[in-house]
Amino acid sequence: MKLRLGIIGFGEVGAIFARGLRDQEGVASVHAWDIKFADTAAGAAAARAAADADRIRSVGGMAALCAEADLLISAVTASSTLAAAEEAARHARHGSLFLDLNSASPGTKQRAAQLLQAAGVDYVEAGVMTSVPPYGIRVPMLLGGARAAELSGRLKAWGMDATPVSQQLGVASAIKMSRSIMIKGLEALVIEAYATARHYGVEEHMLPTLKETFPQIDWDRQGAYFFSRVVQHGKRRAEEMREAAQTVQEAGFPPFMAAATAEKQDWIAHMARDGVFEGLDSKSPWQDYADRVIAATRAK
């Protein structure tokens, strides 16, 4: 049976999944809903036109999306995970399936599942294990929930790398969030260490010590990559790290590192919104990013 897909959130990730699944065998149609489709100040007409140009059928609201979808795929920001599930639960058809791609804590995913399951919707959580753009729909992800194994078979037939890890909800998210604490934390540490070294003019002394300790890492290249990714996606990363902090809190530990990482990511995101990094891109050296951070900080 062909499935009709409904994409909740047509940002970077939602659009990648919509385009990647659109022409797969077994997919009847792909519809999408995003709050920016209704926000005239955010260019609603242009946003819907962009979706339509990709042969993705934009709709005017969650109710319209749910009316069309057998499988709903939620790809919103981490802070909107629960709100998206709550709204979908009011409209989704009994017997439909909800795949939650969002970077949220196990507790958040479990609360989302409760809302949807109470409405007769089957819920599967996904822990997306690395950045989506380089992989597209083939990004490695872990699935959890009663129907995780069943859905995994369908997703693999569409070329996706979806591995069921547990029937218990929260396990896949715990794996994802634990990894995020390390990866996003390393980003924050690199930005702080590199900018500090640059300020004191000691980077040529500091970086070789990193190379000596971890020779398999190209620390110049890694630094540039971390700076560019946080500048581009700092707001989203900060939201994810607040969910990571919540994950630590749910485990009973004070989330010192995860909370600090969220603050660092958000700090860079605010600079990016203020135009501090205008003209820099993924090919720019980390020194250029660090110089902008230093100049912006001195200007305050």
Q: What are phi and psi of 29, to 5 degrees?
A: -165, 160
> Crossing angle of helices 203-213/171-200, nearest 10°?
140
Report the C-alpha gap between 224 and 191 in whole angstroms.
9
- The low-confidence residues of the chain, meaning pLDDT below 50, are none
Per-residue pLDDT at 41 = 75
Of 98, 94, 10, give the one whose Cα is nearest residue 57.
10
What is the DSSP pairing of strand 122-128 with strand 97-100?
parallel
Per-residue pLDDT at 47 = 86
What is the DSSP pairing of strand 27-33 with strand 3-8?
parallel
Tokens (6 digits) for 124: 């599967």
49-71: per-residue pLDDT in tens?
A: 889 899 999 999 999 999 999 99
Per-residue pLDDT at 1 = 81
Domains annotated for the chain, with CATH where assigned, are 3-167 (3.40.50.720), 173-298 (1.10.1040.10)
Per-residue pLDDT at 300 = 75
Per-residue pLDDT at 274 = 97
Per-residue pLDDT at 299 = 87
Residues 6+ apart with CB under 8 A from 277: 231, 271, 289, 292
Report the C-alpha gap between 58 and 52 in whole angstroms.
6
Tokens (6 digits) for 265: 């990511």
Report the C-alpha gap between 45 and 36 in whole angstroms.
9
Q: pTM for the complete prediction?
A: 0.92
Instruction: Count Cβ atoms within 10 A of the Cβ of residue 144 and give its class: 0-12 exposed, 13-18 middle, 19 or more buried.
Output: buried
Report the C-alpha gap between 178 and 50 in whole angstroms.
35
Report the C-alpha gap between 158 and 128 in whole angstroms.
16
Report the C-alpha gap between 212 and 119 in whole angstroms.
56
DSSP class of residue 253 equals S
Residues 6+ apart with CB under 8 A from 175: 127, 129, 142, 165
Per-residue pLDDT at 275 = 97
